[in-house]
């Protein structure tokens, strides 16, 4: 069973691991850390790589579990994120095919970060027409087999290379590696599942 963190529209490396694993367990008993993919993803905008960050209420004075982290909905972050995604992918081959589902997701406000991440993951399942059949952890174990939790850290992706495919702004900035699954989905559509399944496995 592969153990992995639920993240905000997981990047390609995370999704390859999820699709290629026989069984998935999402870690939900962890302590929240900043500078991770728990509340961020990267897409391909007109000016290159663009980060989308969900604002959260978090203090470093005491440890907080990720499942206890609230989203800061005082700003219109969800509207900003959707407009950024729409601007980046409106000319992609499959954006209109999935547009309504994603618009509905961003129209809904969630109080909890982890709940929202699972909503994103469930939407990806729906778009890929697959069922990950995932479980969630009940305790935090420091050492486990098939531990893919390090993939949540941004710095651990520096060495990861993902197979190229055609991207919207590739003629301007070249191929950008290991973006959010959104980039693959809007560019490859139904072929996304095959791309992930046949990709070389990810080594942490």
Residues 6+ apart with CB under 8 A from 65: 29, 30, 31, 32
Q: How far is CA 152 from CA 12, 75, 100, 148, in A?
A: 12, 25, 28, 8
Per residue of the chain (204 residues), give pLDDT as tens: 999 999 999 999 999 999 999 999 999 999 999 989 999 999 999 999 999 999 999 887 778 999 999 999 999 999 999 999 999 999 999 999 999 999 999 998 899 999 999 999 999 999 999 998 899 999 999 999 999 999 999 998 988 999 999 999 999 999 999 999 999 999 999 999 999 999 999 987
pTM over 0.85: yes
How far is the C-alpha of 117 from the C-alpha of 130, rounded, in Å?
17
The length of the chain in residues reads 204
Query: Which of 79, 52, 54 is CA-nearest to residue 69?
Result: 54
What does the block give as tokens for 68? 């206890």
Count CA within 13 A, CB hemisphere, residue 139: 4
């Amino acid at each position: 069973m592969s153990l992995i963190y639920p993240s905000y529209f997981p990047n390609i490396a995370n999704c390859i691991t999820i699709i290629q694993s026989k069984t998935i367990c999402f870690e939900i008993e962890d302590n929240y850390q900043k500078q991770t993919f728990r509340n961020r993803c990267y897409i391909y905008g007109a000016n290159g790589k663009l980060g989308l960050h969900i604002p959260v209420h978090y203090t470093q004075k005491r440890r907080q579990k990720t499942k206890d982290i609230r989203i800061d909905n005082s700003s219109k972050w969800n509207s900003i994120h959707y407009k950024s995604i729409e601007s980046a992918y409106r000319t992609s081959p499959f954006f209109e095919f999935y547009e309504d589902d994603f618009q509905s997701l961003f129209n809904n406000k969630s109080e909890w970060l982890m709940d929202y991440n699972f909503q994103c993951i469930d939407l990806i399942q729906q778009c890929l027409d697959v069922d990950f059949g995932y479980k969630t952890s009940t305790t935090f174990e420091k050492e486990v087999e098939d531990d893919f939790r390090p993939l949540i850290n941004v710095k651990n992706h520096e060495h990861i290379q993902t197979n190229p495919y055609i991207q919207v702004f590739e003629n301007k900035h070249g191929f950008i590696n290991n973006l959010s699954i959104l980039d693959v989905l809007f560019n490859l559509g139904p072929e996304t599942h095959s791309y992930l399944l046949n990709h070389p496995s990810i080594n942490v």
